[in-house]
Amino acid sequence: MAKAKKLPSGTYRCQVFDYTDLSGKRRYKSFTAETKKEAEYKAAEFMVNKKDKGKISSKTFGQALENYISIREPVLSPRSIINYRRIQSNDLSILSSIKISDITQELIQHVINEDIKTHAPKTVRDNHGLIAAVLKEKRPGFALNTVLPQSQPPKIYVPTDDEIKQLLFLAEGTELELPILLAAFGPMRRGEICALHSDWINGNVVHVARNMVITPDHKWIIKQPKSYAGDRFIDYPEFVAEKWRGISGMITTLCPDSLSLRFARFLKKSGIHHFRFHDLRHYSASIQHALGIPDAYIMQRGGWGNDGVLKNVYRHTMTGKTEEMNQVANSYFDNLYNTKCNKKK
């Protein structure tokens, strides 16, 4: 049993071995108290609890993480599993050989501090979230209190009306025309567009009931939307419906990655400011919001289950609409101020 030593201050300190860090340095835990007996008692209590942690789980973090992912593989989306596997093999490999019972708050903080040097804040927070989820299963009494980088607002781009007009003019008659129309005026996701079959179209209404996703072994498959809100009906304007009439079978032969790649090449060749294919959804949601359409209807049309994404990402004023909206507001204020009832006699 470790013995406590008296400090110059008159209190007693007892040190016991805690763990060996990633550099091979031994780390100790210190317990200070007014009496020697109390300091030694705290140290002994810590060692007993540490042994109990070993009984809780003798697995390494790598084994626990593999088990965590494997159990959820049948129910999570393929994209989520791919992301977990990426984090497992890259960002969290440093923890793979460490026993669950040996993991401390200091160790996790060290891993996160190193992660910050090479990753964006969102990636760091996602990695920590997975660490916390695994530890919660194996050590439910161990609560992490890690200092994380401050989250940053997403940087998105909302195409202007002029850019959309130019894009539609140049894309007319190409394989990209219909996917662009479906995304900009739906708005449909690229996976939903690539999975769309003519059987799911009735007149001007598209039933979004399928999504094309990539599996962990890099194969594209068609499955149901990942959320209940994703299964929806979209009533498109006539000029869009005209483009799919006469098509029997799949609306496009492209997979989502090919669609994004060809879209990027098309923008570069056309001299249009670069933005992602997904940003066409930003355009659609922003226009609807600018027109005063209630959020509930925008969410239903776009397939969002809650307004969190809409508030944080999609509710942005169009660059080309800013002056127009300012004129509307200023005109209202002018009329309010210049009414006769506000003028002195």
**74: preceding bond cis by omega (within 30 degrees):** no
**CA atoms of 100 and 59, how far apart (whole Å):** 6
Inter-residue long-range contacts of 285-292, CB under 8 Å, 24+ positions, other chains counted: 285/187, 285/310, 285/314, 285/315, 286/158, 286/314, 286/315, 286/316, 286/317, 286/318, 287/318, 289/314, 289/315, 290/317, 290/318, 290/321, 290/325
pTM of the shown model = 0.68
Query: Please, what are the domains in the chain?
Result: 5-56 (no CATH), 61-138 (1.10.150), 161-323 (1.10.443.10)
Quick one: pLDDT at residue 312?
Answer: 62
pLDDT recorded at residue 342: 55
- Print pLDDT tens along the chain (345 aa): 678 889 998 899 999 888 787 778 888 889 999 888 888 888 887 777 666 555 555 789 999 999 999 988 877 888 889 999 999 999 999 999 999 988 999 999 999 999 999 999 999 999 999 999 999 888 877 889 999 998 877 677 888 889 999 999 999 999 999 999 999 998 999 999 999 999 999 999 999 999 999 988 889 999 988 778 889 999 999 999 999 999 999 999 999 999 999 999 999 999 998 999 999 998 888 888 888 888 888 889 998 887 766 666 555 555 556 667 777 788 887 787 676 555 555
